[in-house]
Every structure is written in structure tokens, then in C-alpha cells.
């Protein structure tokens, strides 16, 4: 009976692990790409051409990102550099245009305290929150800018070439909670040059 339970547990682990890989296209820095199945863990892309293959690990030195597809939708992730002294992080591409908007998500665990008696923990609780940070990057810029941090200050500098956005920030229509809408607006109505209008 114990052996049967162990075998079932191993089967469950292998089945769950194999299901992690979604239909995807890996994007390389030289603009080439390969279709297969992929997943992202700990800032590393795991990719295989067939579901039954063993995955190989890919990083920013060769790979630009991963495009998930299937079931009528797509999700794109790219390695993004935001500081000259740190390695790029893989982030979700939310919007592409004159400005590209990236979203970096990570889980934050909080210890909410506990009840202690005679030096022993009787009860403790913790919670998990998803922290999202938005980065923006202009075409041909080397680094992306964290637009979530010091939102009003940074956004007024970053969007200084669009009076309408500055107005909307000042009157509260654009704030930290609707950064994507602000970037959509910029790409649709702002930042036009003579090249864009010809």
C-alpha cells in the first residue's frame, strides 16, 4: 500500500510538472524564433520543441523573450534592462508602440503575527500579495524606467512632451492605478514627430 501511494505521488508530481509547459515561441536576440512549449521560472526561460522532450534553460544573453499562444490569446514576455549595473529581468509586455509598457510581478509574503504561549507558537498567520511594478521604455532606449515609483514626479518628467497627459495627471484622471491607460493614450495621441505624421 505504501509503495502504491509513493508511485501515485511520483506520477502526480511528473504529471503536474509536465503540464506547466504551454504552447510558446522562443524569441532570440538575432530576431530568429522557434515554436514549441515553454515556461518561465526564476527569471529563466525553460523551452522544449515537443512536450515529451526535456526542457533546456535559456537566459538573456541569447534570448529576447517568450511568446505564449493558444486558446485565442497571446502573452509576451521579454528580458528588460532597467539599471546599468543589474542583469535584465523578464517582464510581461503590456503595450508596444512609441512607448513599450512592461509589468513586473512578484509575490510578497507577509507574516501577520501569531499567538505565543510559553515560548511556543500556538497560531500564526501569513498572507501572499502580488506586487506589480510598471516600467516604460522608448524606442531605441537602452534602459526602461520604473514609472510606479514616485509616480507623479517621474511621470511628469517622462511624459513632459505630452501636455494632455500632464493635465490628466494634475487633475487626477491619470494616477498610479491606471498606468496602462496612460501609456495607451500616449501611444495613440502623443509623441508624434514629422516622421510619424508623413
Quick: pLDDT tens for 117-157. 555 555 555 555 778 899 999 988 999 999 999 999 999 99
Q: What residues form DSSP beta bridges with 67?
A: 25, 76
**pLDDT at res. 6:** 47
Asked if 56 contacts 47 with a C-beta cutoff of 8 angstroms, the reply is yes
Strands 22-28, 89-95: parallel, antiparallel or unpaired by DSSP? Answer: unpaired
Do 36 and 104 belong together in one domain? no
Element containing residue 131 per DSSP (H, E): strand 120-138
**pLDDT at res. 197:** 38
Whether residue 181 lies inside any domain: the answer is yes
In the chain, the number of structural domains is 2
Do 131 and 160 belong together in one domain? yes
Q: Which domain holds residue 163?
A: 98-114+124-192
Q: State the Cα–Cα distance between residues 174 and 152, nearest whole angstrom.
A: 9
Asked if 182 contacts 166 with a C-beta cutoff of 8 angstroms, the reply is no
**pLDDT at res. 72:** 78
pLDDT, the chain, mean = 83
Q: What residue has cell string 501569513? A: 126
Do 141 and 187 belong together in one domain? yes
Do 155 and 74 belong together in one domain? no
Q: What residues form DSSP beta bridges with 69?
A: 74
Q: State the Cα–Cα distance between residues 153 and 176, nearest whole angstrom.
A: 11
Kindly tell me if the per-residue pLDDT of 19 is higher than 60. no
Asked if 140 contacts 153 with a C-beta cutoff of 8 angstroms, the reply is no
Whether residue 9 lies inside any domain: the answer is no
Do 143 and 67 belong together in one domain? no
Do 168 and 128 belong together in one domain? yes
Amino acid at each position: 500500500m505504501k509503495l502504491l501511494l509513493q508511485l501515485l505521488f511520483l506520477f502526480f508530481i511528473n504529471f503536474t510538472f509536465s503540464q506547466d509547459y504551454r504552447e510558446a515561441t522562443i524569441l532570440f536576440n538575432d530576431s530568429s524564433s522557434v515554436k514549441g512549449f515553454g515556461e518561465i521560472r526564476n527569471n529563466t526561460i525553460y523551452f522544449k520543441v515537443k512536450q515529451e522532450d526535456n526542457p533546456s534553460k535559456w537566459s538573456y544573453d541569447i534570448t529576447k523573450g517568450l511568446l505564449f499562444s493558444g486558446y485565442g490569446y497571446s502573452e509576451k514576455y521579454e528580458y528588460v534592462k532597467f539599471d546599468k549595473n543589474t542583469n535584465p529581468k523578464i517582464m510581461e509586455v503590456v503595450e508596444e508602440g512609441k512607448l513599450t509598457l512592461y509589468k513586473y510581478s512578484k509575490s510578497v509574503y507577509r507574516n501577520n503575527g501569531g499567538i505565543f504561549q510559553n515560548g511556543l507558537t500556538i497560531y500564526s498567520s501569513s498572507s501572499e500579495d502580488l506586487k506589480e511594478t510598471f516600467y516604460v521604455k522608448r524606442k531605441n532606449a537602452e534602459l526602461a524606467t520604473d514609472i510606479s515609483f514616485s509616480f507623479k514626479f517621474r511621470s511628469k518628467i517622462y511624459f513632459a512632451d505630452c501636455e494632455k497627459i500632464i493635465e490628466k495627471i494634475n487633475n487626477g484622471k491619470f494616477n498610479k492605478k491606471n498606468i496602462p491607460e496612460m501609456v495607451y493614450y500616449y501611444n495613440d495621441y502623443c509623441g508624434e514627430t514629422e516622421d510619424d505624421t508623413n
